[in-house]
């Protein structure tokens, strides 16, 4: 129970079986948790058919409806911490992230990083099969985020990430406010503000071949306005989780290491 890959899904029936097989068949003892938002295409039912094949390695959490990427990951993080996992991964279901790169993210955390980011925008990273307008939007968002937040991460919107459990334990997950792709920025920002080391690992991001993209104007708007809000609120907001001292009953902050 060391490594858990969290994969949020909504209408991913074309990809879900293949991505689960690809991750678990790596032979590196990865477990997979699917967070499904009541996909009308039957994604969750396809996951259930794989339970006999992967007993104790594949898990499913079903929610009542489409509640957003951020809340899906927060749900998964809390589940992972409760179950005792040490390294918790974010990953898309559509093969835009290569499962073979999971081990590289894992090793970055084993070697001292608190957060390992699969980065498209450092030396050795690349994007394949994306239209030029999507690349421009993504690169622009990354530059914009760095200018506003001063966070030294070249690919802050990346969704291929490994967290050490100590990072997720320290972050006040209930205080993470964004639900779309701005969630990815806020989580990295929270870890950086708490002085955890963030290591970027170069990956090749490939656009999905099957299924529909979840990108829309609302997500873009949240990203643009969200970064400004993030910077402003950070002047007053403490991302550190507060816990109760069992001896005194006093609320104290969790310290980073």
Q: What is the 3-state secondary structure (H, E, C) of 82-97?
A: HHCCCEEEECCCCCCC
pLDDT at 251 exceeding the cut of 50: no
What pLDDT score does 135 carry?
83
What count of other Cβ atoms lies within 10 Å of the Cβ of residue 111?
Answer: 9
Least confident of 6-15, 40-49, 179-188: 179-188
Which CATH number goes with the domain that contains 26?
3.90.550.10
Torsion, Cα 71 72 78 79, to 10 degrees, reads: 160
What tens digit of pLDDT does each residue of 57-75 get? 999 999 999 898 999 999 9
Query: Residue 71 is encoded by which pair of tokens?
Result: 């809340």
What pLDDT score does 137 carry?
79
Beta bridge partners of 171: 240
What count of other Cβ atoms lies within 10 Å of the Cβ of residue 96?
Answer: 22
What count of other Cβ atoms lies within 10 Å of the Cβ of residue 188?
Answer: 24
pLDDT at 208 exceeding the cut of 90: no
Quote the domain boundaries for residue 49: 3-253
Query: Residue 131 is encoded by which pair of tokens?
Result: 């239209």
How far apart, in Å, are the Cα atoms of 187 and each of 49, 168, 211, 250? 33, 9, 27, 27
Give the span between the Cα atoms of 15 and 191, in whole angstroms: 31
Give residue 248's pLDDT band: very low, low, confident or very high (50, 70, 90). very low
Give the span between the Cα atoms of 251 and 245, in whole angstroms: 6
DSSP state of 158: -
Element of type H or E holding 31: strand 30-36
DSSP state of 240: B
Q: Beta-strand (E) ranges in 39-196?
A: 58-62, 87-90, 115-119, 126-128, 161-164
Number of domains in the chain: 1
What pLDDT score does 234 carry?
61
What pLDDT score does 244 carry?
39
């Amino acid at each position: 129970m060391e490594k858990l890959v969290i994969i949020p899904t909504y209408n991913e029936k074309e990809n879900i079986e293949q991505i689960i097989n690809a991750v678990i068949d790596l032979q590196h003892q990865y477990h997979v948790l699917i967070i499904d938002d009541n996909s009308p295409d039957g994604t969750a039912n396809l996951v259930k058919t794989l339970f006999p094949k992967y007993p104790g390695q594949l898990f499913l959490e079903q929610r009542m409806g489409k509640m957003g990427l951020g809340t899906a990951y927060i749900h998964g993080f809390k589940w992972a911490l409760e179950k005792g996992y040490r390294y918790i991964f974010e990953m898309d279901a559509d093969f835009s992230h290569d499962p073979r790169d999971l081990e590289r993210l894992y090793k970055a955390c084993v070697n001292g990083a608190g957060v390992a980011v699969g980065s498209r925008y450092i030396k050795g990273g690349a994007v394949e099969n994306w239209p030029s307008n999507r690349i421009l939007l993504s690169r622009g968002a990354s530059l914009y985020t760095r200018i506003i937040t001063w966070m030294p991460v070249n690919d802050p919107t990346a969704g291929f990430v490994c967290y050490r459990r100590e990072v997720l334990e320290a972050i006040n997950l209930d205080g993470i406010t964004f639900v779309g792709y701005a969630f990815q920025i806020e989580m990295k920002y929270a870890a950086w503000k708490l002085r955890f080391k963030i290591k970027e690992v170069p990956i090749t991001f490939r656009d999905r071949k099957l299924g529909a993209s979840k990108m829309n104007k609302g997500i873009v708007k949240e990203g643009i306005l969200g970064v400004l809000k993030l910077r402003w609120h950070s002047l007053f907001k403490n991302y550190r989780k507060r816990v109760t001292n069992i001896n005194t009953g006093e609320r104290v902050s969790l310290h980073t290491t």
